Structure 1
């Protein structure tokens, strides 16, 4: 709902605090689960601010030889969330970055309706009670939200599962290409329609040639510059890598695979995220990629 792990933690604490203080007024006319969802939704609606990824700010950059452009410092960025793939197996599409980013295009109440119906799986009557809407209004909002999400979020069909042998092999090739600054090897694991986003930079790229051109010119300048380690639990149930430059936290990468190749690269240039994902800020001995 909020697009930020830190904001979600604050909202969860506020929800439980309000529930504790108001429990003597709970009359049992709905389940405790529905009542808690109502409190949580109201907390989120009050705190809601639109969060974005760079692709929402404008067209992709075509001149990859230029340095990345910083965004307005007031921009509120969508953030990754640690989610165990096993816990996300039943609703994998509902936790992917692409889905959460698409949610940001919905009006607040449509967003709440979609999450309460399709993710929390509450009946329409309970959603109506939680949001102060009629059941007919809930169903109408859900229909509009689903149509918008279908336009904004990619179809998950054909995406490789995180535990597949192809995924592991391609992920290992991707890691080695980054560590060895091997743009040619990286080309072999990217789709032609790959995109690259790098919050907090506003600049983003669409297409394999611009992505490789930018990475080869500005990022993968020499072998050994980066040390790359897997992250578990990963972000949004997707393959996630921690990048260290000269042994210090540099960025988290969240990868989206489709048909065995990388379709989206999200590079979060925010070392402050490392503790959230249980990663050291200064690199010591860490495990290799799981087999």
Structure 2
């Protein structure tokens, strides 16, 4: 005898919850990354956000959109996380640049929490994206220098600035999300904008050339590194270029110190490095491999370039082999 299949009510609720909330996962991840400066922390908070949302979904009365409701949960979860951890930094946030290019890099003390890069592929359009505009929002304002600057704001200032200026929520919407008044939101936003103007890079430092031009600069950078060609690197770097690399506190400002440091401590011989092009934080980047005595290449980390129309303004290097997996690269390549 045939029996009609009965779908449990909990399963139907689960399917409805997924349909209603899943289209916003990528942009929520970008939002939490801006707030926290860490892909790992952002991933954890997004998971917690969806868990809290699932538990509260039956009580959701539709007084706001699902998207606004999820941002309220995610933002407050981020603010809670920020009360338990120190801010994340780049080496340039820990002190002045090193004037001596022959100085050995100094490892940071244990416990320093570093800004983490994120692959552009995580925020590209996907089949789950219900609104193309939301994907664009998720890609904007992810550049490393701006994410690092945001970490100097208080948690509330950070939240208000991102929700208002990046995501374009209204002041009353933000007030409702944070449990405060519209007047308080406007005052906090003004203070946050003032502080960010003091911290953020100049306009020319974040203005990108066309995509083909930036890609061409990245190709030249990779070729110079793989050939251990310091002169080619000097030609690519602007005179005011800066270089910093985690997990070291040592960093350099000015072509005159960056290039000698690279020549002394990093470049080595032709073939010591292998680099593969990628993109991180909406910037050109190179996954970096170091050659072993067995002629294989092991993942070393990631170099993220700030490219302007007049050359490379900044090199952020991250010594973290685990980034290879995050960016979709193998941990080992070779033999050469």
| Count of aligned residue pairs for this structure pair | 282
User: 59-68 or 275-284, which moves further after superposition?
Assistant: 275-284
Change (3 A) 1:284 1:43: farther
Aligned equivalent of 1:32, options 63, 66, 71: 66
Aligned equivalent of 1:163, options 198, 211, 224: 211
Three-state SS of the structure 1 residue aligned to 2:78 is helix
**TM-score under structure 2 normalisation?**
0.80
Deviation at 1:228, TM superposition (A): 0.9
What residue number does 1:225 align with? 272
Aligned equivalent of 2:309, options 250, 259, 278: 259
Three-state SS of the structure 1 residue aligned to 2:97 is coil
Matched, 1:276 2:326: yes
In 1, the alpha carbon distance for the partners of 2:138 and 2:56 equals 32
What residue number does 1:52 align with? 89
Q: Which has the larger radius of gyration?
A: 2
Deviation at 1:204, TM superposition (A): 0.7
Q: Is the 8 A contact 2:218 2:285 kept in 1?
A: no
What residue number does 1:62 align with? 99
Aligned equivalent of 1:203, options 229, 247, 250: 250
What residue number does 1:189 align with? 236
**TM-score under structure 1 normalisation?**
0.92
* Per-residue Cα deviation, 1:111-141 (whole angstroms, up to 9, x for no partner): 0001111222211111001111111111111
Q: Is the 8 A contact 1:93 1:99 kept in 2?
A: no
Q: Is the 8 A contact 2:305 2:312 kept in 1?
A: yes
Three-state SS of the structure 1 residue aligned to 2:306 is strand
In 1, the alpha carbon distance for the partners of 2:237 and 2:203 equals 17
Deviation at 1:160, TM superposition (A): 2.7
Aligned equivalent of 1:238, options 283, 300, 306: 283
Higher RCO structure (Cα 8 Å, ≥6 apart) = 1
| RMSD (Å), alpha carbons | 1.8
Matched, 1:94 2:141: yes
Deviation at 1:168, TM superposition (A): 2.6
Any unmatched runs of 5+ in structure 1? Answer: 286-291
Q: Is the 8 A contact 1:160 1:260 kept in 2?
A: no
In 2, the alpha carbon distance for the partners of 1:91 and 1:249 equals 28
Q: Is the 8 A contact 2:218 2:277 kept in 1?
A: no
* Per-residue Cα deviation, 1:179-202 (whole angstroms, up to 9, x for no partner): 010000111110011111101111
What residue number does 2:7 align with? none
Three-state SS of the structure 2 residue aligned to 1:16 is helix
* Per-residue Cα deviation, 1:36-55 (whole angstroms, up to 9, x for no partner): 11110111111123100011
In 2, the alpha carbon distance for the partners of 1:197 and 1:162 equals 25
Three-state SS of the structure 1 residue aligned to 2:312 is strand
Aligned equivalent of 1:143, options 179, 190, 198: 190
In 2, the alpha carbon distance for the partners of 1:271 and 1:255 equals 18
Deviation at 1:92, TM superposition (A): 6.2
In 2, the alpha carbon distance for the partners of 1:100 and 1:284 equals 35
Any unmatched runs of 5+ in structure 2? Answer: 1-34, 126-134, 292-296
